[in-house]
Amino acid sequence: MTALAGRHVVLGVSGGIASYKSCTLARRLTETGARVDVVMTRAATEFVGTVTFEALTGRPVISSLWEPGRALSHIHLAREADLVIVAPATAQVLARAAQGLADDLLTAILLARTGPVIVAPAMNDRMFAHPATRRNLESLVDRGWLAVGPEKGPLAEGAAEGPGRMSEPETLFAHVVRALSGESPWRNRKVVVTAGPTREALDPVRVFTNPSSGRMGFALASAVWLRGADVTLVTGPTSLEPPVGPKVVRVVTTAELSRAVARHLRRADVLFMAAAPADFRPRRQAGTKIKRGASEKLVVELTPTTDVLSATRKARRRGAVIVGFALEAGGGVRSARAKLAEKALDFIILNDAREPGAGFEVETNKVTIIGKTGRAKPVQLLPKSEVAAAILDAVESAL
């Protein structure tokens, strides 16, 4: 089943140049199973043709209160839609909505709407910075609407000093999925996810680390945010794009990771410890680059780093659910269970580094989910995003 199967979304498009990006959003929503009704203002039709949206959604575009045979469509759409998203929302539409005007189909829907509404403001940066616009948006947010963006970045008219650019379609899409995740047990839970490797310096240009890509942790952070959680992603150095939604905290060393986890764990309901911290660090760190010809043989003395999970035991809230990962190369379930007990975990997710398609640097994973009680549950080889979903389904029972 696709993510938005059977969901009904009204996509309001007002007259801004960013409306070309709403075509991508309309397509993304439609291909993930949503029934999308596009409602355009008159100004919007100056930018994009109705035919474009009709072809993308497979449904007629509605742009007037006065279309024959569609009397009261504003009331039906306002009542029946699971979600209304206005993208782009121009300064003009925000002003009319804030005032409660209903002088076209889109504003009439917004006035009649009691369910969730997302707005994606898009305009010139000075127009967005104007106190009138700020106040209008604030009053809509106070009434329970969710504003996504605008972001800093180039505008159609050139470089901008402040935010004004509409959020990208993928960002808006993620917010729609999250808004439609309904009564998920994750909603408003505080979740901390760690990801990626850490690095321990030998000298200013050399480090000890491991090949963790951070993908499993990023996939988990994204998946749990989409289910409604309030997520902090603490990550070591990775080349991955930050996911839409989670607050990202960057660390380098295991000690920094440990401090960041301790700080965020105090208020967390759940910790997913998917990071692969460097387990050893050089006992001494050279202040200048060690020269290759300095000696025949370089001996580096290593000392263990902090075990983050064990060190942060005291920082755990009572009742917090702690999920660790175990990377094993042989030993499997038995040694994972030993780690679960030793680190006082509620779940441990076992990865066998020797399994094809599992472990570091790959897009897929093959894991076994082991709870404090109960049997080990093997999950088939899947993309990391689907493994993340299986882990969330299993951990959900403990919330």
Choose among 51, 52, 43, 53: nearest CA to 14: 43
Alpha carbons 163 and 351: distance in angstroms, whole number: 43
Which residues in 134-193 contact ligand CTP (CB under 6 A)? none
Q: Which residues contact 202 (CB under 8 A, 6 or more apart)?
A: 208, 282, 285, 286, 290, 300
What's the min distance (Å) between Cβ of 179 and ligand CTP?
Answer: 31
x-or-dash string of contact with ligand CTP, 207-246, rule CB under 6 A: ----------------------------------------
Strands 206-208 and 200-203 turn out to be antiparallel
Handedness of CA 350, 353, 356, 359 (dihedral sign): positive
User: Which lies closer to ligand CTP via its Cβ, residue 69 or residue 330?
Assistant: 330
Q: How many chain residues are in contact with ligand CTP, going by CB under 6 A?
A: 14
Any idea what DSSP says for residue 95? H
The answer to whether the CB of 30 falls within 8 A of the CB of 8 is: no
Task: Measure the CA–CA gap between 361 and 316, rounded to whole angstroms.
Answer: 30
Cα three-residue angle 91-95-96, rounded to 5 degrees: 120
Distance between CA atoms of residues 342 and 337, nearest Å: 9
10 touches 25 (CB < 8 A): no
Q: Which is nearer to ligand CTP, 3 or 327 (CB)?
A: 327
188 is catalytic: no
Residue for token pair 């076994």: 368
- Polymer length in residues for the chain: 399
Taking CB under 6 A as the binding criterion, the range among 87-95, 109-117, 142-150, 321-329 that sits at the site for ligand CTP is 321-329
Among 4, 94, 229, 326, indicate the residue that binds ligand CTP (CB under 6 A): 326
To the nearest whole angstrom, how small is the minimum distance from the Cβ of residue 63 to ligand CTP? 53
Among 47, 128, 325, 347, binds ligand CTP (CB under 6 A): 325
Comparing CB distances to ligand CTP, the nearer of 14 and 194 is 194
Q: What is the closest distance, in whole angstroms, from the C-beta atom of residue 308 to ligand CTP in the complex? A: 3
What is the distance between the alpha carbons of residues 275 and 254, in angstroms, rounded to a whole number? Answer: 10
Question: Which of 112, 327 has the CB closer to ligand CTP?
Answer: 327
The structure tokens listed for 283 are 């006992």
**Catalytic pick among 188, 210, 351, 365:** 210
Residue number of the CB atom closest to ligand CTP: 308
* Min separation Cβ 289 and ligand CTP, Å: 27
Cβ at position 277, least distance to ligand CTP in Å? 4
Q: Pick between residue 168 and residue 279 the one whose CB is nearest to ligand CTP.
A: 279
The residue (of 48 and 275) whose beta carbon lies closer to ligand CTP is 275
Nearest residue to 358 via CA among 337, 335, 329: 329
Work out how close the CB of 41 gets to ligand CTP at its nearest, in angstroms, rounded to a whole number: 51
Cβ proximity to ligand CTP: between 95 and 255 the closer is 255
DSSP structural state of residue 148: -
Site for ligand CTP in 292-311 (CB under 6 A): 305, 307-309
- Residue with Cβ nearer ligand CTP (118 or 220): 220
Q: Is 359 in the site for ligand CTP (CB under 6 A)?
A: no
Name residue, tokens 């986890």. Answer: 261
Give the up-direction half-sphere exposure of residue 108: CA atoms within 13 A in the CB hemisphere.
Answer: 18
Whole-number minimum distance, CB 323 to ligand CTP, in Å? 8
Question: Residue 326 Cβ, how far from ligand CTP at the closest point, in Å?
Answer: 4
By the 10 Å C-beta count (0-12 exposed, 13-18 middle, 19+ buried), 140 is classed as buried
| Site for ligand CTP, residues 327 to 356, rule: CB under 6 A | 327, 339
Phi, psi (degrees; rounded to nearest 5) at 234: -100, 115
Residue from 324, 365, 388, 390 in contact with ligand CTP (CB under 6 A)? 324
**Distance separating alpha carbons of residues 367 and 360, to the nearest angstrom:** 12
Question: Which 249-288 positions form the footprint of ligand CTP (CB under 6 A)?
Answer: 254, 273, 275, 277, 279
Residue 177 has what DSSP assignment?
A: H
Q: What residues are annotated to the active site?
A: 210
- The residues that touch ligand CTP, with contacts defined as CB under 6 A, are 254, 273, 275, 277, 279, 305, 307-309, 324-327, 339
